[in-house]
């Protein structure tokens, strides 16, 4: 029987490696809030928020794993958020839930934008998409 996965079990890659993985068939799971995702996101991304924004601050989505269950545990996933923190915690949860091929995108969508990978949207629109508060 396998034990609980910890932080040391998460593989983190930079945005260029993540782009290569996506190009080779990996799926992108965006764990930012719906508000953040709607401002701008990586093409073909699936959005399942890991946390919700409330007046009290961030609250973990209690249904995260249930909502992700539409994705096979055998699928190869690149998980990203805005800067890499939420996606890292989501990766730990996914590994503990039995997902086998989970990779965290270090730096998140902010690093994706800063690296010029976000396409032809105006820079001010992209920078707004990287702000956590709506």
> Measured between alpha carbons, how far is 118 from 121 in angstroms, rounded to an integer?
7
Residues 73-89 pLDDT 10s? 999 999 999 999 999 99
Secondary structure of residue 57 in the 3-state scheme? strand
* CATH for 7-129, options being 1.10.1040.10, 3.40.50.300, 3.40.140.10, 3.40.250.10: 3.40.250.10
The two tokens of residue 71 are 């994705």
From residue 56, alpha-carbon distances to 15, 34, 40, 113 in Å are: 31, 18, 25, 29
pLDDT tens-digit map of 11-39: 999 999 999 999 999 999 999 999 999 98
Q: Is 91 a catalytic residue?
A: no
Give pLDDT, residue 133.
42
| Per-residue pLDDT tens digits for 112-132 | 998 889 876 665 666 555 654
Domain ranges within the chain, ordered by starting residue: 7-129
15, 22, 31, 81: which is the annotated catalytic residue?
81
């Amino acid at each position: 029987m396998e034990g609980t996965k910890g932080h040391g079990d998460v593989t983190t890659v930079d945005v260029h490696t993540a782009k290569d993985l996506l190009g080779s068939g990996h799926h992108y799971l965006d764990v930012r809030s719906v508000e953040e995702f709607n401002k701008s996101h990586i093409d073909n991304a699936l959005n399942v928020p890991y946390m919700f924004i409330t007046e009290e601050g961030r609250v973990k989505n209690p249904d995260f794993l249930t909502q992700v269950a539409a994705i096979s545990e055998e699928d190869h996933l690149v998980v990203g958020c805005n800067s890499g923190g939420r996606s890292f915690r989501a990766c730990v949860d996914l590994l503990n839930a039995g997902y086998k091929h989970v990779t965290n995108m270090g730096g998140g969508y902010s690093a994706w934008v800063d690296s010029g990978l976000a396409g032809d949207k105006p820079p001010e629109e992209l920078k707004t998409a990287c702000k956590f508060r709506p």
